């Protein structure tokens, strides 16, 4: 049996709460902030989050490669850069989950150095803080979780499972099935 970690209702509550926080933060911002979703895992979260934010904003996307199977490699490469001009704007990097921290550290450094935004914040729906390999605090966290490998709502097992509405921990049998589907 798969173990559901977050139902759609629970996810909605978390996303609504974050949306309110960003609305509050950016409601008097001069230039619309840019929300940068990290492809592909953050897509469902990004699309739900921006619709909970009640002020003008710009969306963009970035893609990096950083993860193979179920272990982080620490090696990050840029696959798709942003398209919008983020100079002098506040930026929020939107991630599905923070694990080792390598991805967010890399993205933050890359965007700060390359484009010099006015301010840069990080947001992750979930945070496996206990798994950090580099010290890093996410600015806006939906929920902190333990050391589970999870699938659904954007999170994948070798690309499979992103479209599942809830977030679940696949048991061994389900991992086997996902592995067979993916290969």
Which residues belong to the active site? 99
26 to 55, contacts with Mg ion by CB under 5 A?
Answer: 41
Q: How far is the CB of 42 from Mg ion (least distance, A)?
A: 9
22 or 95, CB closer to ligand IMP? Answer: 95
Number of residues that bind ligand IMP (CB under 6 A): 18
Q: How far is the CB of 88 from ligand IMP (least distance, A)?
A: 27
Contacts of 158 by beta carbon, 8 Å cutoff, 6+ apart: 69, 178, 179, 182, 183
Euclidean distance between CA atoms 6 and 12, whole angstroms: 10
Binding-site partner at residue 170 among Mg ion, ligand IMP, none, CB < 5 to 8 Å by type: none
Q: How many CA atoms, within 13 angstroms, populate the side-chain half-sphere of residue 137?
A: 1
Q: Is 81 exposed, middle or buried (0-12, 13-18, 19+ CB in 10 A)?
A: middle
Question: Under a CB-based contact definition with an 8 Å cutoff, are residues 44 and 154 in contact?
Answer: yes
| CB burial readout 38-75, b (16+ within 10 A) else e | beebbbbbbebbbebbeeebbebbbbbebbeeeebeee
Binding mask 69-108 for ligand IMP (x = CB under 6 A): ---x----------------------xxxxxxxxx-----
Binding mask 139-158 for ligand IMP (x = CB under 6 A): ----------xx----xx--
Question: Under a CB-based contact definition with an 8 Å cutoff, are residues 109 and 78 in contact?
Answer: no
20 to 79, contacts with ligand IMP by CB under 6 A?
Answer: 38, 41, 66-67, 72
48 or 89, CB closer to Mg ion? Answer: 48
50 or 125, CB closer to ligand IMP? Answer: 125
Q: Is 104 exposed, middle or buried (0-12, 13-18, 19+ CB in 10 A)?
A: buried
The answer to whether 122 contacts ligand IMP (rule: CB under 6 A) is: no
Residues at the interface with ligand IMP (CB under 6 A): 38, 41, 66-67, 72, 95-103, 149-150, 155-156
Residues at the interface with Mg ion (CB under 5 A): 41, 67
């Amino acid at each position: 049996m798969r173990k559901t970690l977050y139902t759609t209702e629970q996810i909605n509550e978390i996303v609504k709460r974050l949306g309110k926080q960003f609305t509050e933060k950016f409601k008097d911002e001069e230039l619309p902030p840019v929300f940068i979703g990290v492809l592909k895992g953050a897509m469902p979260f990004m699309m739900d989050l921006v619709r909970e934010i009640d002020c003008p904003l710009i969306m963009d996307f970035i893609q990096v490669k950083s993860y193979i199977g179920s272990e982080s490699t620490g090696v990050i490469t840029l696959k798709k850069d942003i398209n919008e001009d983020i100079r002098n704007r506040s930026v929020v990097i939107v991630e599905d989950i923070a694990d080792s921290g390598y991805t967010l550290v890399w993205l933050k450094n890359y965007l700060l150095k390359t484009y010099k935004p006015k301010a840069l914040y990080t947001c992750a729906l979930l945070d496996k803080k206990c798994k950090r390999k580099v010290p890093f605090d996410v600015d806006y966290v939906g929920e902190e979780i333990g050391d589970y490998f999870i699938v659904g709502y954007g999170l994948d097992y070798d690309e499979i499972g992103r479209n599942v509405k809830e977030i679940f921990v696949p048991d061994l049998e389900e991992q086997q099935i996902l592995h067979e589907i993916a290969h």
